[in-house]
Amino acid sequence: MPSRNRNRHALILAILAIAFLLVTIEPVRGQHYDIVDFNDFSSTPDSHEVVDLDIYDTVINPRYDIQVHGSVRVADASTVRVASPRWGPIDGVNADLIDKKILSSLRAAIKAGKVPADKKEAVAALKPRADGILARHHRYSVTFSTVEAPNNSSHYYYSRLSYAWPICPKGEMITNPQLQCPWKIWDGHFYPGDSNITCLLQLTRFSRDIQTLSVAYYLFGEEAYAAQFVHLVKTWFLDKLTYMAPDLSYAQVIPHGYEWTWRGSRTGLIDTHTLITFLSAIDLIKTSPSWDTKTRKGLQNWFKDYIKWFETSTMGIAESKGLNNQGTYYKGQLAAFSLFVGRKDVAKQQVIDYIEQDFTLQFNRSGAQPMELRRVFSSLYSYFNLQGVMYLAKVGQLFGIDLWHMKNRNGVTLQDAVDFLIPLSLSPRATENPANLLPLLEDARNHYPAEAAKYSHYISKIRKLTSGGDLLSEWILWK
């Protein structure tokens, strides 16, 4: 075949290939967004212009639907997880300092066969749940995730920033959003396709099993519960093959650019907030023969390293300045970790720092939390932050600091914050599960006895309304 014909045929094939790509590759079209600075709560989201701000202090509100490339469809109910009309998610107990005095009286009542009427349902639910954990004999580890961190180490915790989406220019052909598009935060909308990254799921299940086993051991005294507790601890923190490195450098990664350049977000430090309650739960099993000195010292050394990373890493330093729930849980985690390793001065300082830096900013004169109410899941974030603040109040009690009755510069107490959430939670228009308010109401009943009857009324009402939530036993037994 003459070279001219060969060139003509090659050109035709090239044109056909390009035409095929134009037809089959779906472009990702960007839209206009309002970017809201959470640090400015003097104005509403609608009053903001589109500006470039620190992505970690902003939320974007889409005016239109997003189209994303590849197997992901146009963002709709099938690809974006949002709160269901009745009810939304149950978040669980995020931060607690377990009160053994209350549990010890319940343990005595169980032994005497005189369980209080308001505790019978919880006690009945707890043992089968703990027995189920033994039967499943599951272990949890960051190394069990099918996707490794960008540094190619299975021992590093890895998660994606769930609300991050690629925002691509209109009219452009996009084949790789990770490389071609900027990424922004679309609050309350989970970017699909991250289900293979399971470190956060592993940690959540670890924490909930730990909570159940510790309470069950303390109340029923069965060594098998403590033994499984220790087994889970060794798997997550200490075993050479399955341990997690005390480092969150790849937590809440925004997958923009080449993978080897990816790093975590400062907000990623909140991923380990359930370790607050885990460390408190250790107090319930420490008399067990399964809880040996080697395990205790190994775990303390792990947390000493984690504290160092928390305090000195770029992510940690940035997160320590957070103003909303991020700042609350930075201080709460650092307080819990420090108490566990004997650094009481550091734990106390976190409470002082919260009072001086965050208390007034977080609660306005009505008891509302403006920075949390701006969120899509506004009630859920309000519950979440207040639970973290109440944990700091419990830590403060250890050092003679009464945050429970302290007023911020707006004249508001934590009781006012709880009271604000009651009508919000029970409103006919509420879409977020009021069962999340139960731990806060239990704490309010215990710390504000003059209004205990009021809180008992709402506790009973919400339990009937929601069947108590899936963590009924833990919520009741710890209070």
Question: Which class is 93-168+193-477 in CATH?
Answer: mainly alpha
pLDDT at residue 43 greater than cutoff 80: no
For residues 142 and 207, is the Cβ–Cβ distance under 8 A?
A: no
pLDDT at residue 59 greater than cutoff 70: no
**Given the structure tokens 């650019």, which residue do they identify?**
257
Q: 435 falls in which pLDDT band (50, 70, 90)?
A: confident
Contact residues for 402 (Cβ-Cβ < 8 A; gap 6+) = 396
Give the chain's mean pLDDT. Answer: 81
Contact residues for 448 (Cβ-Cβ < 8 A; gap 6+) = 404, 415, 455
Peptide bond into 404 cis (omega under 30): no
- The pTM of the full predicted model, rounded to 2 decimals, is 0.81
Please give the torsion angle defined by the CA atoms of residues 358, 364, 365 and 367, in that order, rounded to the nearest 10 degrees.
Answer: -90
Q: 6 falls in which pLDDT band (50, 70, 90)?
A: low
Higher pLDDT: 35 or 472? It is: 472
> Exposure string (b/e) for 433-442, b if CB count within 10 Å is 16 or more?
bbbbbbbbbb
CA distances from 57 to 5, 299, 311, 324 (A): 60, 34, 20, 10
DSSP state of 217: H
Q: Report which residue type is found at 259.
A: E
Res 146: pLDDT: 86
Higher pLDDT: 390 or 38? It is: 390
Reference 255, options 159, 332, 338, 337; nearest CA is 159
> Which tens digit of pLDDT belongs to each residue from 159-183?
999 888 988 888 777 888 888 888 8
Integer-rounded Cα Rg, in Å, for the chain is 25
Res 236: pLDDT: 98
3-state secondary structure of 34: strand
Phi-psi region of 171 (alpha: psi -120 to 50; beta: other; left: phi over 0): left
Res 260: pLDDT: 81
> Which tens digit of pLDDT belongs to each residue from 341-373?
999 999 999 999 999 999 999 999 999 999 999
Q: 88 falls in which pLDDT band (50, 70, 90)?
A: low
For residues 302 and 238, is the Cβ–Cβ distance under 8 A?
A: yes
In the chain, what are the domain boundaries? 1-92+169-192, 93-168+193-477
Residues 157 and 191: their CA atoms lie apart, in Å, by: 19
Res 90: pLDDT: 58
Res 26: pLDDT: 32
pLDDT at residue 301 greater than cutoff 70: yes
Q: Report which residue type is found at 258.
A: Y
Residues 387 and 391: their CA atoms lie apart, in Å, by: 6
pLDDT at residue 445 greater than cutoff 80: yes
